[in-house]
Amino acid sequence: MPAPRRAVRTTVALSAAALLTPLAACGSGDDETDSASSGGGTLTVLAAASLTDVFKEAGAVYEKAHPGWKVRFSFAGSQELASQVKQGAPADVVVTADTETMEGLEDETAKPSVIAKNRLVIAVRKGNPQDVGELGDLAEERLKVVLAAPEVPVGRYSREVLDAQDLQVKPVSQESDVRAVLSKVRLGEADAGIVYKTDAATVPEKVSAIEIPDEENAVADYPAAVLDKPQHKAEAQEFVKWLGGAKAQGLLREAGFQKP
């Protein structure tokens, strides 16, 4: 049975608070001193969980091209990132997996720009032992299906595509981000789950991806924005601009993300 929405909101709030604490501890005046004295510092980026692998790679490339600067990422569900921003987390840039969450931060950010797009797939255990072939199969009671919570972008997208096909799917759990959904399938705790195409591609040895036809799918936009009160405004603006440039876009294409 789906987890109660109240329980999901409580989990999200606690997770946001836990993530906020280390950011606050690291966001001291030390970075400001380093920046002023050496022309460098630490750029803090709050990013959607589905960007974890590609952004870690992108961060290393950015640091190499910008001597003296370090990029520190905090990955979580977009709804948790929004909570951190609203609570005043000391950060510079936020990147969400949907425009709706970013629109809710319009008073806390500069104008966002979409840096990538993504699509959904059905993730199943390697080899597809339950013979899942399409969205309609997820409504079968024989399957243990896991989805992200409705507050999470991928959870909202999942329900949109299921509702469009008039499918009643009862997930065995509702997770706080897309990586948690993927983990349930990868570990064999669920037979299937809906995730982004790029996430399924990170563990091809454990998970198989069942394509969802374009006419039944949803497109996820990834907007990036500088926070209204960043620790390093100029470098934050440079980083967002860099994400839209050739090098970062090449890395995003290699990871399976689509052009913005």
- What are the E-state strand segments in 111-250? 113-125, 145-148, 173-175, 192-196, 207-211, 219-226
Shared domain check, 89 and 153: no
Domain extent at residue 172: 118-219
Question: Mean pLDDT over all residues of the chain?
Answer: 88
Q: Does the residue 69 lie in any domain?
A: yes
- For the chain, percent of residues with pLDDT exceeding 90: 85
Residue with the larger pLDDT of the pair 207 and 39:
207
Res 22: pLDDT: 43
pTM: 0.84
Q: pLDDT digits over 55-82, tens only?
A: 999 999 999 999 999 999 999 999 999 9
Shared domain check, 227 and 204: no
Structural domain count of the chain: 2
Q: Does the residue 181 lie in any domain?
A: yes
- Helix or strand (DSSP H, E) at 94: strand 93-95
Shared domain check, 176 and 61: no
pLDDT at 35 over 70: no
Shared domain check, 87 and 44: yes
Q: Does the residue 67 lie in any domain?
A: yes
Burial 48-63 (b: 16+ CB within 10 A, else e): bbbbbebbeebbeebe
Section 20-48 average pLDDT: 57
* CATH code: domain of residue 161: 3.40.190.10
pLDDT at 12 over 60: no
Res 200: pLDDT: 97
Q: Does the residue 49 lie in any domain?
A: yes
pLDDT at 33 over 70: no
Residue with the larger pLDDT of the pair 176 and 36:
176
Q: Does the residue 137 lie in any domain?
A: yes
Res 39: pLDDT: 76
Shared domain check, 182 and 57: no
Q: Does the residue 259 lie in any domain?
A: no
Shared domain check, 113 and 11: yes
- Residues 9 and 119: their CA atoms lie apart, in Å, by 25
pLDDT at 124 over 80: yes
pLDDT bin (cut points 50, 70, 90) of residue 184 is very high
Res 165: pLDDT: 97
Shared domain check, 54 and 101: yes
Q: Tokens at residue 226, please?
A: 């500088």
Res 38: pLDDT: 44
Shared domain check, 128 and 84: no
- Helix or strand (DSSP H, E) at 95: strand 93-95
Shared domain check, 111 and 233: yes
CA-to-CA separations, 3 to 125, 156, 204, in angstroms, rounded: 23, 15, 29
Section 41-58 average pLDDT: 97
Section 197-210 average pLDDT: 97
- Residues 63 and 79: their CA atoms lie apart, in Å, by 28
Shared domain check, 69 and 151: no
Q: pLDDT digits over 166-175, tens only?
A: 999 999 999 9
Residue 243 phi, psi (nearest 5): -60, -25
Shared domain check, 50 and 93: yes
Cβ proximity of 130 and 142 under 8 Å:
yes
Q: Does the residue 245 lie in any domain?
A: yes
Residue 119 phi, psi (nearest 5): -135, 165
Q: Does the residue 260 lie in any domain?
A: no
Residue with the larger pLDDT of the pair 30 and 158:
158
Shared domain check, 215 and 127: yes
Res 1: pLDDT: 40
